[in-house]
Amino acid sequence: MRDERTTNYYAILELSPGASDAEIKRAWHEHMQVWHPDRFVHSPTLHRKAEARTQLINQAYQTLSDPAARARYDAGRQHPSSHRHHLHAPRRHPVRKPLHDRARNCAGPKRC
């Protein structure tokens, strides 16, 4: 079982942190319809993936639908430094010069 402090239950159910109880239940239901393992009996690999995904969906629903558990979860998310390792900054892609700037630096039409 995953540590709830490192799992974003709102992202799993595709919800905002301010979601209502009705929105949480609707999101859980929709995700279970999509990911239910019985839909993947034709492929053992997909069936295992669906089982793992439905476990996460159910954990998210159980936590977010219980007011006390949700309050504890939200409190833990507000203080990530006490529970999580610092994440690396996202990689930035190098900035490329526009094509017309690169063309000026060419010595001839076939050298670019």
Looking up tokens 């839909």 gives 39
Q: How far apart are the C-alpha atoms of 62 and 84, rounded to whole Å?
A: 22
Query: Mean pLDDT in the chain?
Result: 80
18 is a domain residue: yes
CB 9 within 8 A of CB 59: yes
Whether 32 is covered by a domain: the verdict is: yes
The reply to whether 102 falls in a domain is: no
Q: Is 0.85 surpassed by the pTM of this model?
A: no
**Per the domain annotation, does 69 fall within a domain?**
yes
107 in any annotated domain: no
Q: Establish if 109 belongs to a structural domain.
A: no
What pLDDT was estimated at residue 6?
Answer: 76
Assess contact for 9 and 62: CB atoms under 8 A: no
105 belongs to a structural domain: no
49-72, pLDDT tens digit by residue?
A: 999 999 999 999 999 999 999 999
Res. 106 pLDDT band, cuts 50 70 90 = low
Place of tokens 């979601």: 19
- The answer to whether residue 63 sits within a structural domain is yes
CATH number at residue 56: 1.10.287.110
